[in-house]
Amino acid sequence: MHRHRGSGPGFLSDILFVALMRGVREEGKTILLEDGYLENGEFTNCRIIFTQNPARLKNIIFRDCVFEIPTTDPPSPYIRKVSQILLSSNPGLVVIWILPEA
Domains of the chain by residue range: 12-99
Strands 56-63 vs 93-99: parallel, antiparallel or unpaired: antiparallel
Q: 23 vs 26, 37, 61, 70, 80, CA distance in Å?
A: 10, 12, 11, 26, 26
Confidence label for 6 from pLDDT (cuts 50, 70 and 90): very low
The closest of 15, 92, 101, 28 to 61, measured between CA atoms, is 92
**Each residue's pLDDT tens digit, 27-66:** 999 988 888 888 899 999 999 999 998 988 999 999 999 9
Please give the model's pTM, rounded to 2 decimal places. Answer: 0.78
- CA–CA separation, 28 vs 10, rounded Å? 11
